[in-house]
């Protein structure tokens, strides 16, 4: 369990990092906290020629509120969010998610941008941030582009990142005062990856609901208009109107054949709905 040989660079600024990335022609890997890439290197599951360590890029450590949204640099750690060192526009939703990612040792080093880039279906941010309606900015030497989380995550360990691109920032919209947030996951043990995640952002006043079913074998199922799960409309009684049968059908349609897995996913989603609160 030792990595194959690789070259290592630690650029001082984002432009330098992007230049190295462009020059590598796809043979480089970016490392930030290294909580997933480290083991993958040691297991020789990835054998890049070059590792670009971006942990020195101060541009990517910002956390500001501007224009009604929170902008988090890709290097913000889970622990930064858990401990409240970053501003919060989600009324505690992100802090609670961060506090339950893996173990504290992982949260100390693991970054939000790294977690999204890795696109592990069982990780928390790709589901939680999709439910919160977040977007991300990707940057390369050619420029920047912005997309939703659900557009970014293409499949299991597959993202929309193209060669030469890195995740620069995450934009989290302010959660409205009337929006209910619920997040539940089931893990075999404390700190392990979840085998089922349910995330809901339901605003009875606005009659809107975003629902995410995560930790499936592929990209999370993101329902930006989830009224169908609640009898066709979102209102104050949404908890009673949650329709487990429809949720099961959504999972079946997404290709989850195992009835037991579907049952657990529906159960976890139901728990997120039941626990949702303003």
Partner 1 sequence: MKEGADVRSEREFPSGQSGQGVGARLPRKEDDRLMRGRGQYVADIRLAGLQDVAFVRSPQAHARICGIHVPERHRGSVFTAADLVGIKPIRAVSGLPGFKISEQPVLATGKVRQVGELVAMCVAPTRAEAEDIAASVTLDLEELPAITDMLKAREPASALVHEHWGDNVFLETNYEVDISAALDAPIKVTREISTARQCMSPLEGRGVVATFDRRLDQLTLHSAAQMPHITRSGLAECLGMEEGQIRVISPDVGGGFGHKGILLPEEVCLSWLTMQRGHPVRWIEDRREHLVASSNCREHHYRITLYADRDGTLRGIDCEATVDSGAYSSYPFSACLEAAQVASILPGPYKMPAYRCRTFSVATNKCPILPYRGVARTGVCFALELMLDLVAAEAGLEPGEVRLRNLVLPEQMPFDNITKKHFDSGDYPEAMRRALAAVDIDAIRAKQGRGEADGRRIGVGVSIYCEQAAHGTSVYSGWGIPMVPGHEQASARLTPDGGLELRVGVHSHGQGMETTLAQVAHEMLGIDVAKIRIILGDTAMTPYSTGTWGSRSMVMAGGAVATACRELGERARRIGAKLLQHDPASVVLQNGEVRGVNGSVSLKTIAHTWYRRPQDLPADVDPGGLEVTQGYKPVRDSGTFSYAAHAAVVAVDPDLGEVEILDYVIVEDGGVLVNPLVVDGQIYGGLAQGIGTALYEEMPFDASGQPLATTLADYLLPGATEVPAARLDHMETPSPYTQFGVKGIGEGGAIAPPAAIANAVNDALRPLGVELMQSPITPHRVVAAVLAARATERSAA
Write out the residues near partner 1 by the rule CB under 8 A: 1-5, 39, 43-44, 186, 188-193, 195-196, 259-261, 263-264, 267-268, 270-271
Bridge partners of 197, per DSSP, are 185, 214
Q: What is the closest distance, in whole angstroms, from the C-beta atom of residue 268 to partner 1 in the complex?
A: 7
Query: 120 is written with which tokens?
Result: 């592990």
Pairing of strands 63-66, 180-187: unpaired
Q: Which two tokens stand for residue 245?
A: 């049968």
CA distance 163 to 29: 10
User: For the purposes of burial, counting CB atoms within 10 Å of the CB of 33, is it exposed (0-12), middle (13-18) or buried (19 or more)?
Assistant: buried
Nearer to partner 1, 22 or 106 (CB): 106
CB of 124 to partner 1, least distance (A): 15
Minimum Å gap between C-beta 117 and partner 1 is 19
Pick the closer one to partner 1 by CB: 4 or 207: 4
Nearer to partner 1, 152 or 183 (CB): 183
Q: Shortest distance, CB of residue 190 to partner 1, whole angstroms?
A: 4
Least gap, CB of 118 to partner 1 (angstroms): 13
Strand 153-155 and strand 221-223: pairing?
Answer: unpaired
Q: Which is nearer to partner 1, 62 or 195 (CB)?
A: 195
Q: By C-beta, is 7 or 207 nearer to partner 1?
A: 7
Round to whole Å and give the CA distance between 211 and 227.
9
């Amino acid at each position: 369990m030792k990595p194959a040989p690789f070259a290592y660079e630690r650029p001082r600024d984002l432009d330098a990092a992007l230049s190295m990335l462009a020059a590598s022609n796809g043979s480089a890997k970016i490392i930030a906290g290294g909580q997933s890439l480290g083991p993958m290197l040691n297991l020789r599951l990835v054998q890049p020629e070059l590792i670009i360590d971006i942990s020195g890029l101060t541009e990517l450590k910002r956390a500001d509120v501007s224009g009604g949204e929170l902008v988090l640099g890709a290097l913000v750690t889970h622990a930064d969010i858990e401990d409240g060192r970053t501003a919060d526009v989600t009324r505690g939703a992100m802090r609670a998610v961060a506090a339950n990612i893996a173990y504290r040792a992982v949260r100390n080093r693991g970054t939000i941008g790294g977690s999204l880039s890795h696109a592990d279906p069982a990780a928390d941010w790709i589901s939680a941030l999709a439910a919160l309606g977040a977007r991300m900015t990707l940057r390369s030497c050619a420029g920047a582009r912005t997309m939703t989380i659900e557009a970014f995550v293409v499949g299991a360990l597959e993202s929309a990142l193209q060669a030469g691109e890195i995740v620069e920032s995450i934009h989290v919209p302010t959660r409205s005062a009337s929006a209910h947030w619920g997040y539940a996951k089931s893990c075999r043990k404390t700190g392990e990856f979840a085998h089922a995640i349910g995330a809901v952002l339901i605003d009875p006043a606005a009659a809107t609901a975003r629902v995410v079913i995560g930790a499936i074998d592929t990209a999370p199922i993101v329902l930006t208009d989830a009224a169908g799960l609640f009898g066709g409309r979102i209102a104050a009684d949404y908890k009673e109107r949650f329709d487990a049968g429809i949720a099961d059908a959504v999972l079946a349609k997404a290709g989850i054949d195992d009835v037991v897995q579907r049952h657990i996913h529906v159960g976890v989603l139901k728990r997120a709905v039941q626990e949702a609160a303003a």
